[in-house]
Structure 1
Amino acid sequence: MQKSLVIVVTGTSRGIGKGITNVLLQQTLDRPLVVYATSRSGANTEGEVANPNIIEYHKLDITDPASISSFFKRVRMGHGAADVLINNAAVSNDYRENPEYAAQTIRNNYVGTRDMCKAFLAQPDLRFGARIVNITSGLNGVSTYGTELQQKFRKASMIADIDDLATKYIEDTSSGPECQEAAGWGAKARSYKVSKALINTLTVVLAQQNPKVMINSCCPGWVDTEMGRQGQGRPPKTPEQGAQTAVRCAIGDLGPGGDKDGALGQDSDEVSGKFYENESIVVVGWGKSKLWLET
């Protein structure tokens, strides 16, 4: 049997993160899966585990660089290096949006994801063909921003460019809703969508900088979770259904061969810097790829 495939998933105590770990652990592939299920609490969610897969629960605060460093040291001691990173941990403060909560959302969602990616890519034994999967949203296309911001998103070529966009959003939001809208970010609560737009841009930039790693983002759709229920109506998708696109991006065929059923555990086309989503947020499926910067 081949060496285990080591997968790190963040934000697994509930919702889509829990759904992702459940779907992963139920797979029976030609190599065992070792899934590190992480959250601030390190909660054991007691999912079903198909033999010979293994799950390990760990505490991890993605907003704390020391916590990230300590976690990856633990992975290195146990398995040498993680093969796949699924960045799922996120918060939404849209229901109570103000400048302070907007800044918190950006720090948690974008900065935390950025720092997790940096730590993963810095692993000494990172293998060729390793993968990063960033969970984002399809409801924040580049075209939803002002013309000047669209150009900045599309021209970003370094992480520093994305950091500047994040800082600018926080500054504009702190100056009041009129300033936020006039600057091209859109009206009302926008921090969750902006954080995901920053992560989509990060995905593209990191893919360009790291050609030996497959780095993609995906949208789970409208899922019946605590966050998903913040909107109007009842979300139609279960966490496991919402997890399908992320699981495909983690262990499936990223080319057209995975569009129908994910082709989990099979050989994959080398695809990086793409955004995967289904035809709509209510459709269940494994997603299809597109370039987010063209949306």
Structure 2
Amino acid sequence: MERDGVSNPSEKRVAVVTGGNKGIGLEVCRQLASKGVVVVLTARDETRGSEAARRLHASGLSDVVYHKLDVSDPSSAARLADFVKNKFGKLDILINNAGVIGATAEIDTTAPLQDVLVGKNATERLQWLLEHSTETYDEAEECLRINYFGTKYVTEALLPLLQASSDGRLVNVSSNYGLLRYFSGEDLKQELNNIQNLTIERLDEMSRLFLNDYKNGQLKSHGWPADSEYLAYKVSKALINGYTRIMAKNFPALRVNSMHPGYCMTDINYDTGELTAEEGAGSIVMVALLPAGGPTGVFFYRSEVAPVV
């Protein structure tokens, strides 16, 4: 279902943003719309998504339309693609932002969190959060389903529309936790970094192998991240980085990049980050709006190209 506030968008660039109802995603929608881009704000929850679009309209950003999207459901992605095709006939920018952390933090809410974190730098804040977090197999499975497969489902559904653009852009929001240094096995690192031979089918298989090894307690022996928290999150983001590089190789006419927006204060980390959502979104928008002919198939650490290892 859509909520249409768009006015005369025919000559403007069109963007889809997943997970656009709050946090970094909402700020990406705001910043793109403020730069004259027509934005399709997507979210799984219709009430929250519609309200987010309404707030942007109230702030003077009329070229925003809400459409419901569950990234983990291919049929939902297909319905979004049909809507974009019928309304705009093309898509210039896709920002895959929706994601989950794959863990639960046990936090005493009787004291304000910021009081607990006062005086701690970003590294200490993250360490504190890690020490209070646990993850289960079910959370790991959900993390791969939303972060990796969700990114893939939405991209596959919208790819023909991106190809219909004169300058299609795909930005996959990843994380520095997706860097290959977190993997314990050299063979896996090398395979994920060998983009000439790596395939999307192999990434799909890796996701299944990881979950099987997670269930059977064989993560370290098989080379996965294993010595800290957010194990599924790290694997999901590493797979996203690999997927990004494969897509850039397979579709050279598009600009396809992944990026880490920084450790931002959002719901996903209980506002423990060091940057604001606005600052994180600014880096994403910068990558999305790079000049024509810019880099493709690379990983950005905020605004700078960085290695994936």
> TM-score range with shorter-chain normalisation?
0.7 to 0.9
TM-score by length of 1: 0.83
Write out per-residue CA displacement over residues 112-158 of structure 1, whole angstroms, 9 at most, x where no aligned residue: 10111111213386223200000000133212211111122123532
1:271 lines up with 2:295 in the alignment:
yes
Could you tell me which amino acid in structure 1 is paired with residue 306 of structure 2?
K
The higher radius of gyration belongs to: 2
Give the 3-state SS of the residue equivalent to 1:182 in structure 2: coil
Give the 3-state SS of the residue equivalent to 1:181 in structure 2: coil
Among residues 24, 29, 36, which one is paired with 1:16 in the alignment? 24
Could you tell me which amino acid in structure 1 is paired with residue 157 of structure 2?
A
Among residues 224, 229, 239, which one is paired with 1:185 in the alignment? 224
Give the 3-state SS of the residue equivalent to 1:89 in structure 2: coil
Work out whether residues 9 and 86 of structure 1, in 8 Å CA contact, stay in contact via their aligned partners in 2. yes
**Structure 1 residue 276, shift from structure 2 partner:** 0.8
Work out whether residues 26 and 49 of structure 1, in 8 Å CA contact, stay in contact via their aligned partners in 2. no
Could you tell me which amino acid in structure 1 is paired with residue 224 of structure 2?
W
Point out where structure 1 has 5 or more consecutive residues left out of the alignment.
254-266, 279-286
Aligned mates of 1:50, 1:5 — CA distance in 2: 20
Work out whether residues 92 and 162 of structure 2, in 8 Å CA contact, stay in contact via their aligned partners in 1. no
Work out whether residues 182 and 234 of structure 2, in 8 Å CA contact, stay in contact via their aligned partners in 1. no
**Structure 1 residue 182, shift from structure 2 partner:** 1.6
Work out whether residues 86 and 132 of structure 1, in 8 Å CA contact, stay in contact via their aligned partners in 2. yes
Q: Aligned ranges for residues 79-228 of structure 1 at < 5 Å?
A: 79-95=88-104, 96-123=134-161, 126-145=164-183, 146-156=185-195, 157-176=198-217, 179-187=218-226, 188-189=228-229, 190-228=231-269
Q: CA RMSD in A?
A: 2.0
Point out where structure 2 has 5 or more consecutive residues left out of the alignment.
1-8, 105-133
Could you tell me which amino acid in structure 1 is paired with residue 71 of structure 2?
I
Work out whether residues 4 and 34 of structure 1, in 8 Å CA contact, stay in contact via their aligned partners in 2. yes
